[in-house]
Each structure stands twice: as structure tokens, then as C-alpha cells.
A = this chain, B = another copy of it.
Amino acid sequence: MGRRKLEMKRIADKSSRQVTFSKRRSGLIKKARELSILCDVEVALLVFSSHGRLFEFCSGNSLTSVLERYQNHREEEKESKDADAQGSTSENGGKSHAELLQLVQRLVEEPDYEDFNVTDLVELEKDLTIALTQTRNRKTQLMMEAKMSLQEQERLLREEKELLEKEVATLMANSSAGEEAGPSSNPPATLNLFQ
């Protein structure tokens, strides 16, 4: 993507490696930001330079929250794998959730239904485990969204409160203008914070 094509291996020259690092790093962060905005997804990016400097990008709140989410994800994955005994890796189950439900429903509602042997049932169990994991992930996602929504509501409330406080301050200043020397004699209210 420049004057000539680069081989995909460590750049030998130290100086141009540093230059390339700087350029590509900012490009990568830009693209991470674009992905998070365009597709409305959470993205976290960590880069440690060869000298140990840390460069990071995070779409939403803090990297910490993303990492917490990652930990949750891993735990859920681990749980489902444990339940899975030694079944296949976390490949996507071939069946839709609706399909799975139909199968289970037939098994439960029709005692004579005998098209399943043990192998099929093992497979079904695996698919159900995957579905459960996906469901839990989705649940986590919904709870995260609910939390975000609440935080947004909190923010709005705070803004309203600030507006009200300003109104009150204005009213107070007006009603007491005759008694005191005037607004100029009052130190800014914010100073109270710092004494």
C-alpha cells in the first residue's frame, strides 16, 4: 500500500520499522474507531510498542469494562465446554434455535417418537449446550444495554438538575439584589469545592 509491496516479516531497518509502527498504529486505531461507530459494536485495541509503551483504543466506556465483559465471555465459554464434556470446539451448531425447540418438543410431547438414537441425542445435547451459551451471551448483551440506557437516563437527570440549579441561583440573585452589594461581591460558587 505504498511505493512498493512489503514482505510480511519484521522490518529489518530499525528506523523505518519505527516509522511504519507509528503510521500503521494510528491507521489501525482509526479503523477500530470506524468499525465501532459504523457497526455500533464494542471494540478494544491494545498495542505495546517494543519499548513497552502502551497505546490503546476503546469504543465505549473504559477498557476495564470491555475486559470485564471479556472475562464474563470466557467464563461462560468455559462453562459450556465443561458441560460439553469433550465435544467439538465452539463451532456454531448447525441447527437454529427454532429447530432445536421443535425436536425437543416432539421428544417431550410424543412418548412414542423414536427417531433418535443415543448418537443423535448426544448431538442434540451438544447443540442445546451451544444454544444455551449463545442465549446467555445474548442475555449479558441485553443487560449491558439496559445498563447503558440507565446510565444515559442518569446523565439526562443530572443535566436537568444543573439547569434547575442555575434557575434557582438566578432567582436568588435577583430577589436579594436590593439587600446586598450585588453579584460582584460574591465569590464564584465553585470555589467552595476547592477550599
Contacts and interface: CB of A to CB of B under 8 A. Distances in A.
Contacts of A31: 24, 27-28, 31
A41 B17 CA distance: 11
Stoichiometry (number of copies): 2
A129 interface: no
A150 interface: yes
A158 to B, nearest CB: 6
Interface stretch (A32-40, A78-86, A110-118, A119-127): A32-40
A137 B183 CA distance: 20
12 contacts: A6-B38, A8-B37, A10-B37, A17-B39, A24-B35, A41-B48, A41-B49, A52-B137, A98-B195, A146-B193, A157-B158, A157-B161
Interface in A173-193: 176, 179, 183, 188, 191, 193
A140 B39 contact: no
Contacts of A165: 146-147, 150
A141 B66 CA distance: 24
Contacts of A39: 10-11, 17-18, 20-21, 24-25, 50
Given A168-B146, A172-B139, A32 B50 contact: no
